[in-house]
A and B are shown apart, each in its own frame.
Chain A
Amino acid sequence: MFTSLYELWLGQNNDPIFADEIFTPVGMLTLLFALIVAAVFYLLLGRWKPVFDNTTHWIITLVVVAIFGFVYALQYAKDRTGADEADSYMQGFGGINALYAVIFFTIFSALLKRFSIFAKRTPF
């Protein structure tokens, strides 16, 4: 599933390692990371105390998730391919992964916010 999601935007890479060994674990971990961060935001902090619950906090979290998505994808691709420098495909992959991280986090936010107390209405 993740392979087609990434190749939809990036196209196929000549090196089959992206399809075979990179897209799925990066996609899975990005999804899991977005879920954990959303759970911390809405279920842990959002039910504990009103310390990190408003839209500004949510946007900060979103940016963190996006940065993680970009950096993690780029680093993982470099490690698996053994490249010294990130080429344009890898940078594109990082960017698209950041985009998916944002989308995943937004979806999890919509699903989990009802279980929160203080972030029940964040961000919408």
Chain B
Amino acid sequence: MKLFLFGIGGTGARVLRSLTMLLAAGAKTPADLTIIPILLDMDMQNGDTERSLRIVELYRTIRRGAYKDTAAQGGQSERRTFFATPMQPLGTLQADNAQERIGDSILPKLTEHQGTFEEFLNVSSLEDIDREFLKLFYDNSARPTSAELKLNLSVGFKGNPNIGSVVFNSLEDSAVYKYFTGAFNNETDRIFIISSIFGGTGSSGFPQLVKLLQHPSQKMPIRNARKGAVTVMPYFALEENAGSSIDQNRFLSKTKAALSYYQNQIQLDALYYIGDRPGAKLYPNVEGGSQQINNAHIVEMLAAEAVLNFAMTGNDDFGDNKRYYEYALRRNDRKLDLPHFHDNTYHNLLEPLIRFSYATKFFTDFVPANINEAFAKNLQLPQQLNTNTFYTSLRNFMSFHYKEWLRELAENDRSFNPFDLNAPYNSMVRSRQIETGFFNKGISDGFLKEQAGKAENTLQAAYPQPEMRFMQILIEVAERCREKLGPINRELADAVV
């Protein structure tokens, strides 16, 4: 099953970032799932988007090196836990009747237009009366921060859905959408849309895209496909910035207006809503571009869970009526740990994250320090660790992206801080310390050497390719560490006042 995943605007990119982390960790997905991420954003230089692009590219590079058959799972004898689900850019799919190639980026160009909104509308060629009429809808004052017609679209819609909806109205004619329709041929494939409701790009692109997908002129597989979406409501507050055209005071009113529109106009099989009371941490008020690079937030991770929940829902479980989902924690604390989440999230997401965190610590701390051990030499790590693309990508992913993602989640408000990757292995998972004694050192260097050595020895024949063998070792070592950790007490401790 292919899941065509539209991520619209900065929120779409940030949720995709969290989703990629969850998939890397081995979050539960259908065995035959392939995700086709498609980021829709006018702001091609957006920091959040650019970071997501890099992460997905690393994910794909690692996955290509890690597994024998890089197609979706199913009937495979090799164990696939980390980086298990294929992620494939739209442009790499076979598309019928596609007039134009769109490249293999997950951020295809939405439009060739570069310039102001006024130029996009071709205002200069309008009749005077039409031009005056247009000014009724858009601010055309001389103030550079709020003159909507003068907004440069290359950094997105700056929180103005009234502009975005006009631009997205021409989505049907875009090369990316045409390619999508050509590539969507299987009735089992599904469509999911990630967007925010309080910004500019997501809140305008989402209804337009849904309208387009439901239009009678669309081919049957698209119209009949199971469709879902996660709508991210306000969950952060911005710093005051008089120079910015993004007005956070309008977040809630825009959300309310959009929700009432969605109630009647958005027909999907499943609609997930998520949001949060903004915390004390203020985000920089940046209109767009490379400067817009927001820290990861738990809401984004849970929005990513919505994608997986939708993919996991059986075809018969959807029913005829559209379903609405909301998310609740077990307790409304500002600092979250593993026990704060209900069973589904814990088993499908957090258990994999525990294993992946062990794997990360093993790969980034233990392996370089034990490069002369037999298992490392057999894998040619002394020569390959710093030169081979697979290992450098894996290190890049784990050291610079996964650890950073965890750090950002921990430092945000609300904070999600389940792991301390700088602590010894025995206290890495905050909610459970591994007991040690004279005969039991818990997860020690000796334990890791033993597990890695035995796994490497056992897997040699089945995985002659060192990179593939290394991935299996990583999975095995993480599994043994998880066993050593033992059961986690998921009872919530008394809240700290």
Chain A positions within 8 Å of B, measured between CB atoms, are: 49-51, 53-54, 116-122
Tell me the minimal C-beta distance from A118 to chain B in angstroms.
Answer: 5
**Beta-carbon contact of B446 and A118 below 8 Å:** no
Tell me the minimal C-beta distance from B256 to chain A in angstroms.
Answer: 62
B30 at interface by CB-CB < 8 Å = no
**Beta-carbon contact of A121 and B446 below 8 Å:** no
**Beta-carbon contact of B377 and A118 below 8 Å:** no
A121: B residues at CB distance < 8 A: 372-374, 377-378
In the bound complex, what is the Cα–Cα distance between A116 and B378 (angstroms)?
12
| Among B378, B449, B450, contact of A120 (Cβ-Cβ < 8 Å) | B378
**Beta-carbon contact of B446 and A117 below 8 Å:** no
B453 at interface by CB-CB < 8 Å = yes
Chain B residue nearest to A122 in the complex (CB): B374
Most buried by A among B378, B453, B454, B457: B453
B454: A residues at CB distance < 8 A: 117
| Among B374, B378, B446, B456, contact of A49 (Cβ-Cβ < 8 Å) | B446
Most buried by A among B373, B374, B377, B456: B374
**Beta-carbon contact of A50 and B446 below 8 Å:** yes
**Beta-carbon contact of A116 and B446 below 8 Å:** no
Tell me the minimal C-beta distance from A85 to chain B in angstroms.
Answer: 46
Tell me the minimal C-beta distance from B180 to chain A in angstroms.
Answer: 51
Most buried by B among A49, A51, A120: A120
**Beta-carbon contact of B374 and A120 below 8 Å:** yes
**Beta-carbon contact of A49 and B377 below 8 Å:** no
B contact face: mostly helix, strand, loop, or mixed:
helix
In the bound complex, what is the Cα–Cα distance between A49 and B439 (angstroms)?
14
Chain A residue nearest to B451 in the complex (CB): A50
Given contacts A51-B446, A117-B457, A118-B453, 5 further A-B contacts (CB under 8 A): A49-B446, A50-B446, A121-B373, A121-B374, A121-B378
B449: A residues at CB distance < 8 A: 50, 118
B378: A residues at CB distance < 8 A: 120-121
Tell me the minimal C-beta distance from A77 to chain B in angstroms.
Answer: 40
**Beta-carbon contact of B450 and A119 below 8 Å:** no
**Beta-carbon contact of A119 and B446 below 8 Å:** no
Kindly supply a per-residue 1/0 record for chain B positions 368-384, scoring 1 wherever the CB is within 8 Å of any chain A CB and 0 otherwise: 00001110011000000
B456: A residues at CB distance < 8 A: 117
Most buried by A among B372, B373, B378, B456: B373
Tell me the minimal C-beta distance from A58 to chain B in angstroms.
Answer: 12
Tell me the minimal C-beta distance from A82 to chain B in angstroms.
Answer: 49
Tell me the minimal C-beta distance from A81 to chain B in angstroms.
Answer: 46
Most buried by B among A51, A116, A117, A121: A117
| Among B372, B373, B377, contact of A50 (Cβ-Cβ < 8 Å) | B373
In the bound complex, what is the Cα–Cα distance between A119 and B457 (angstroms)?
11
Tell me the minimal C-beta distance from B203 to chain A in angstroms.
Answer: 57
In the bound complex, what is the Cα–Cα distance between A54 and B450 (angstroms)?
13
Tell me the minimal C-beta distance from B369 to chain A in angstroms.
Answer: 14
B446: A residues at CB distance < 8 A: 49-51
In the bound complex, what is the Cα–Cα distance between A122 and B373 (angstroms)?
9
**Beta-carbon contact of B374 and A116 below 8 Å:** yes
In the bound complex, what is the Cα–Cα distance between A118 and B456 (angstroms)?
10
Kindly supply a per-residue 1/0 record for chain B positions 443-485, scoring 1 wherever the CB is within 8 Å of any chain A CB and 0 otherwise: 0001001100110110000000000000000000000000000
A50: B residues at CB distance < 8 A: 373, 446, 449-450, 453
A-B contact pairs, 19 of them (CB 8 A): A50-B373, A50-B446, A50-B449, A50-B450, A51-B446, A54-B372, A117-B374, A117-B457, A118-B373, A118-B449, A118-B450, A118-B453, A119-B374, A120-B374, A120-B378, A120-B457, A121-B372, A121-B377, A122-B374
Tell me the minimal C-beta distance from B451 to chain A in angstroms.
Answer: 10
B457: A residues at CB distance < 8 A: 117, 120
Tell me the minimal C-beta distance from A110 to chain B in angstroms.
Answer: 15
In the bound complex, what is the Cα–Cα distance between A118 and B448 (angstroms)?
12
B373: A residues at CB distance < 8 A: 50, 118, 121
In the bound complex, what is the Cα–Cα distance between A1 and B352 (angstroms)?
63
